[in-house]
Amino acid sequence: MNDRIYVASPDTSSVAVLDAVTLEHLASAGAGARPYAPALSGERLYVTDFGGGSVTVISTATLAVVGRIPVGDHPGGIVIDPAGRHAYVTNYQSSDVSVIDLRRGAVTATIAVGRNAAAPALAGERLYVTNFESHDLSVIDTAAGKVIATVPVGQHPNGVAVTRDGAHVYVTTTGANLPGQDNHVLVLDAATLEEVATVGVESGPYGIAASPVHDRVYVTHYYSRSVLGIDTLTRRIVSRAEVGESPEALTLSPRGSRLYVCGTRAHQVAAIDTATGRIVATAPVRRPAGVAA
């Protein structure tokens, strides 16, 4: 497990640096106008700036800003390939994906997707992007640099994750943004992109993350203040934790032993032991939007 986690706070225009075990506040770093989602690669932290139309590059050694990379309009999600060569940024307002060559520190391609690109997930040479207002999922071949499929997935899809074996894609849909509507997670076969199951969950399914080492995905629920663990083999709910008001973003530690959840309106980050499903630490962070571990 890394010894630090990084939490983006749009309200303070900064990233909070917390101890990965205790969640003690260690430091803060400036990260643009409205930092939204952070991603780690080597000794660099890349943070989308939803208000600034760029990605802020921060040295994890010094916490100094070492670069800014212009991208699309209102960048939200970011994912980096395992080799650390490319970052993929979803731009909500311009409805496209910026492909960044991290060695050059520049955008090398822009790929149009559905309306209001929300969350990205990368598996091999496939990039999956939820499109919040066109109610579908764009599937991108990253080698070819183009969309190869568009899949209807239900009203207002937000989160997307791929199981550790790459066989299935899980998508959360927030429905009409009202409690009690569209409370399920959609499961797609990654090879055929056909729906194979739905998993009933709680109110307002929002963010989703797949364990890198276990057959689990975890889903935050905006209205029920909870995070559920789903066994991806049985598709049954196997854990539940209350994490405060309006949980949205979440991520797992590299070894899958800790789950970090951002409670947006609770102004709190919670750490969950995935072995027990229990909260083991919390920390105050002003309106946390995204977390990297």
User: Comparing C-alpha atoms, which of 40, 38, 14 is closest to residue 25?
Assistant: 14
What gap in Å lies between CA 126 and CA 116, rounded to an integer? 19
Report pLDDT for 2. Answer: 82
CA separation for the pair 241, 141 (Å, rounded):
36
- Two structure tokens written together for 49: 């700036």
Two structure tokens written together for 110: 């822009």
Classify residue 283 by its DSSP letter: E
At 177 the pLDDT is 52
**pLDDT recorded at residue 180:** 55
Write the CB contacts of 121 (distance below 8 Å, at least 6 apart in sequence): 79, 127, 128, 160, 161, 162, 169
Which residue ranges of the chain lie beneath pLDDT 70?
1, 176-182
pLDDT computed for residue 183 by the predictor: 86
pLDDT tens column, 172-223: 998 755 555 658 899 999 999 999 999 999 999 999 999 999 999 999 999 9
Max CA-CA distance within the chain?
Answer: 47
- How far apart CA 100 and CA 259 sit, in angstroms, is 28
